[in-house]
Amino acid sequence: MRKFCAWFFLLGLLASFVGCGSTKEIVLQTLEPSPVHITHKIKRIGIVHRSIRPEADEDETGLNRMVAAEEQWLSEQGRNAALTGLFNELLKDNRFETVKILDSIPQDILQLEMGNDSISWTSVENICNTYDVDAIFSMAFFDTETKITLKKTSMMQPNLMRVKVKVPAQELTLETLIENGWKIYYPNSKEIIDEIVFNDQVISKGKGTNPIEAYKAIEDRKETLVEQSKASGSNYGQRLLPFENSVERSYFARGTTNFEQASVLVESGDWQGASQLWQKELDNANSKIAGRACYNMAILNEINGDFRAAMDWASKSYKDHDIKDAMEYLDILEHRLFQNQILEQQVSR
């Protein structure tokens, strides 16, 4: 794993060098652990939904009725698309042996806890036993809400002579908020491992001589809404995986000729050559210069994935040479070491 991380950091190092006094900045591409920790005991996944399809308002008329009917359609198609998006992502995850969409669970089994929207633990255990799964990924809800806006405008339209002329029109804007919530239930420890809500917005516009015609002029709205819903399910599945992140680091590039020459080598990607020059300054009679060299050695070891060595160098920079920046950097390295330990657990399964 350490070799993998070191190789990843070396490949992910971006040559973004920005001068700032005696320092320059670099940008590292790091691999961060997933915010959701899935125990190695979870190998079989069941996906359920307990979202309720809304009833169309029979009192709505005209445009509002058409939009309400579309939202009712979306509540079913969008929900299914989100479940499919999650299902497809989980299938790619080799940590799991089985992934099932459980779409025919009797309602008498899918009971909720009193006073909240969580599935009761008795129901979770029954579902896991009945369908032979270790954990439940639940779509807790899938809601849509559309705001309708009309404004006067104009448009070009052929007249009886087939000549396009400007005529009064209305522009219709539909702003649809798609909100869906997810939970992961693990019955062995009676723990909700994760709980999150995704919010997405789709804006559609159309023009027509009246509101109904403007609505009919909107293209691909249903397809866009379904694709957005599927993407939300896919995004949730990706939330279970380690992710790439960009972080900035500063290193000392001025103060001695060796620092300046090392900076040129860093910009060309020769970190080994730069480290040899920094090492020459470790015993500099000027404590400030020696401390900066220690700090740069800490940066180098973080890039190589050796966080403990990086912490040793940062500690030496601060304790022996009173480089203030090293104290803050030491805290960063301690956090990175902790995160890397979690990452190793996640990728070693």
Of residues 164 and 231, the one with the higher pLDDT is: 231
Centre a 10 Å sphere on the Cβ of residue 3 and count the other Cβ atoms it contains: 8
Q: Has residue 289 been placed in a domain? A: yes
Same structural domain, 116 and 222: yes
φ, ψ for residue 217, nearest 5 deg: -80, -15
Q: What is the pLDDT of residue 16?
A: 43
pLDDT tens digits, residue range 112-154?
A: 665 567 899 999 999 999 999 999 999 999 998 999 999 999 8
The Cα–Cα gap between 244 and 5 comes to: 12
Q: Has residue 146 been placed in a domain? A: yes
The mean pLDDT of 182-198, rounded to a whole number, is: 95
Centre a 10 Å sphere on the Cβ of residue 227 and count the other Cβ atoms it contains: 15
pLDDT band at 49 (very low <50, low <70, confident <90, very high): confident
Helix 2-12 to helix 324-347 angle (10° resolution) is 120
Centre a 10 Å sphere on the Cβ of residue 91 and count the other Cβ atoms it contains: 13
Instruction: Tell me how many domains the chain contains.
Output: 2
pLDDT tens digits, residue range 253-303?
A: 999 999 999 999 999 999 999 999 999 999 999 999 999 999 999 999 999
Centre a 10 Å sphere on the Cβ of residue 280 and count the other Cβ atoms it contains: 14
CA dihedral 299, 301, 305, 308 (to 10 degrees): -110
Segments forming the whole domain that contains residue 321: 2-29+250-347
Q: What is the pLDDT of residue 85?
A: 96
Same structural domain, 293 and 330: yes
Q: Has residue 317 been placed in a domain? A: yes
Output the domain CATH number for residue 65.
Answer: 3.30.160
Indicate if the pLDDT at residue 53 is higher than 70. Answer: no
Q: Which conformational region is residue 241 in: left (phi greater than 0), alpha (psi within -120 to 50 degrees), or beta?
A: beta
Percent of the chain at pLDDT > 70 equals 89
Q: What is the pLDDT of residue 345?
A: 83
Handedness of CA 297, 303, 305, 308 (dihedral sign): positive
Indicate if the pLDDT at residue 57 is higher than 60. Answer: no
Q: Has residue 37 been placed in a domain? A: no
* 175 in Cβ contact with 146 (< 8 Å): yes
Same structural domain, 81 and 178: yes
The Cα–Cα gap between 211 and 90 comes to: 43
Provide the β-strand partners of residue 219.
Answer: none
Same structural domain, 223 and 314: no
Q: Where are the alpha helices (H) located in 107-219, listed in sequence order?
A: 121-131, 211-216
With 0.85 as the threshold, say if the pTM is over it. no
Q: What is the pLDDT of residue 266?
A: 95
Indicate if the pLDDT at residue 107 is higher than 70. Answer: yes
The Cα–Cα gap between 108 and 236 comes to: 28
Question: Edge-to-edge strands of the sheet including 243-252?
Answer: 19-20, 23-32, 243-252
Q: What is the pLDDT of residue 17?
A: 42
The Cα–Cα gap between 115 and 215 comes to: 41
Tokens (6 digits) for 282 = 């470790």
Percent of the chain at pLDDT > 90 equals 70
The mean pLDDT of 19-29, rounded to a whole number, is: 82
| Average pLDDT across the chain, whole number | 88
Same structural domain, 204 and 262: no
The Cα–Cα gap between 279 and 293 comes to: 7
Q: What is the pLDDT of residue 60?
A: 57
Provide the β-strand partners of residue 244.
Answer: 31
